[in-house]
């Protein structure tokens, strides 16, 4: 009797071990990470800058908006994004890294180092900005709670600060564009808000972990996004990279093109002109626009 009981016990133990080995591993979601504000100062910028609404390689300098009188600028009144403002189709955006970074000479570029973020800042950037932006690009429907039972470890590449070349921008809008072009018309009417500077990083690498049992919606959304071999192009937005499903709620996102991290919006001071430039700030005569696009970042 004792021998039979022992055999049953041993068989049960072997079965349990076999089942545990066969079970897919769940992502180890760190519950101790704290959500912190993400703002321009996080990246060493002045409070004139705003965190970019999309972590993509468009929606940077020269992106233009025409907000109704007395209303704030946002994606609902966008005229065009960086490359579409220049009349360049998505499939014809330069592949040369230097030409892409300089926006074919429309951007004056500086130099910068690698951005270092704390674990909490990495996670907050990921769940407040990166994942919601990714969801918009791949047209994920429904309300996904990215802040619950999701953690992100993020590595950003070398940073470059870009400023829109004032002379080239003026000549382009004044002399190259023809009446009837929305950008030209808004310029002639003095109704433009333009992103006159930005901060970009040359790459982005993120490890994303989701507790599938406690946030099935986030896991389903990421699983859908990972089905594409290459991340798709949304409205005027390109995130040239790959999202890989590692299984068990773990995902890896790698982007090797410039990614816009923060932007400096300014409002046109008068119709049909850029106004006299400031010796110390080429866009100093344009009005500050301080209304943030992302209220969730605080």
Pick from 70-79, 109-118, 125-134, 138-147: least confident: 138-147
Pick from 14-18, 61-65, 123-127, 248-252: least confident: 14-18
Q: What is the 3-state secondary structure (H, E, C) of 120-144?
A: HHHHHHHHHHHHHHHHHHCCCCCCC
pLDDT in tens, 198-221: 999 888 888 999 998 899 988 988
Q: What is the 3-state secondary structure (H, E, C) of 9-48?
A: HHHHHHHHHHHHHHCCCCCCCCCCCCCCCCCHHHHCCCCC
Residue 80 domain flag: yes
> In this predicted model, which residue has the larger pLDDT, 139 or 162?
162
**Domain tally, the chain:** 1
pLDDT in tens, 14-48: 434 343 444 445 555 555 557 777 778 888 888 88
> Given a cut of 80, is residue 195 above it in pLDDT?
yes
Residue 20 domain flag: no
Residue 171 domain flag: yes
Residue 35 domain flag: no
* Domain limits for position 137: 41-287
Closest of 195, 196, 171 to residue 184, by C-alpha: 171
Question: Residue 141 — pLDDT band, cuts 50, 70, 90?
Answer: low
Residue 10 domain flag: no
Give CA 219 to chain center in angstroms.
Answer: 20
Residue 293 domain flag: no
What was the pLDDT predicted at 54? 63
């Amino acid at each position: 009797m004792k021998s039979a009981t022992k055999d049953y016990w041993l068989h049960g133990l072997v079965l349990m071990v076999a089942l545990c080995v066969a079970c897919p591993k769940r992502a180890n979601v760190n519950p101790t990470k704290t959500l912190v504000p993400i703002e321009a100062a996080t990246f060493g910028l002045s409070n004139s800058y705003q965190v970019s609404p999309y972590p993509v390689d468009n929606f940077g300098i020269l992106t233009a908006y025409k907000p109704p009188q007395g209303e704030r600028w946002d994606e609902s009144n966008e005229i065009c994004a960086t490359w579409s403002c220049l009349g360049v189709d998505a499939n014809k955006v330069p592949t040369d890294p230097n030409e892409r970074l300089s926006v074919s000479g429309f951007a004056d570029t500086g130099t910068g180092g690698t951005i270092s973020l704390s674990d909490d800042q990495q996670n907050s950037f990921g769940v407040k900005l990166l994942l919601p932006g990714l969801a918009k690009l791949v047209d994920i429907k429904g309300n996904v709670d990215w802040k619950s039972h999701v953690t992100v470890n993020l590595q950003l590449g070398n940073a470059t600060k870009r400023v829109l070349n004032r002379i080239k921008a003026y000549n382009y809008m004044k002399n190259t564009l023809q009446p009837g072009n929305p950008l030209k018309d808004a310029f002639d009417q003095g109704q433009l808000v333009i992103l006159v500077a930005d901060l970009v990083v040359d790459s982005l690498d993120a490890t994303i972990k989701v507790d599938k049992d406690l946030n099935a919606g986030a896991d389903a959304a990421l699983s859908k996004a990972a089905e594409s071999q290459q991340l798709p192009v949304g409205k005027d937005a390109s995130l040239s990279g790959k999202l890989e499903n590692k299984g068990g709620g773990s995902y890896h996102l790698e982007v090797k093109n410039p990614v816009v991290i923060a932007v400096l919006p300014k409002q046109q001071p008068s119709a049909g002109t850029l106004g006299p430039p400031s010796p110390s700030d080429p866009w100093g005569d344009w009005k500050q626009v301080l209304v943030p696009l992302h209220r969730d970042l605080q």
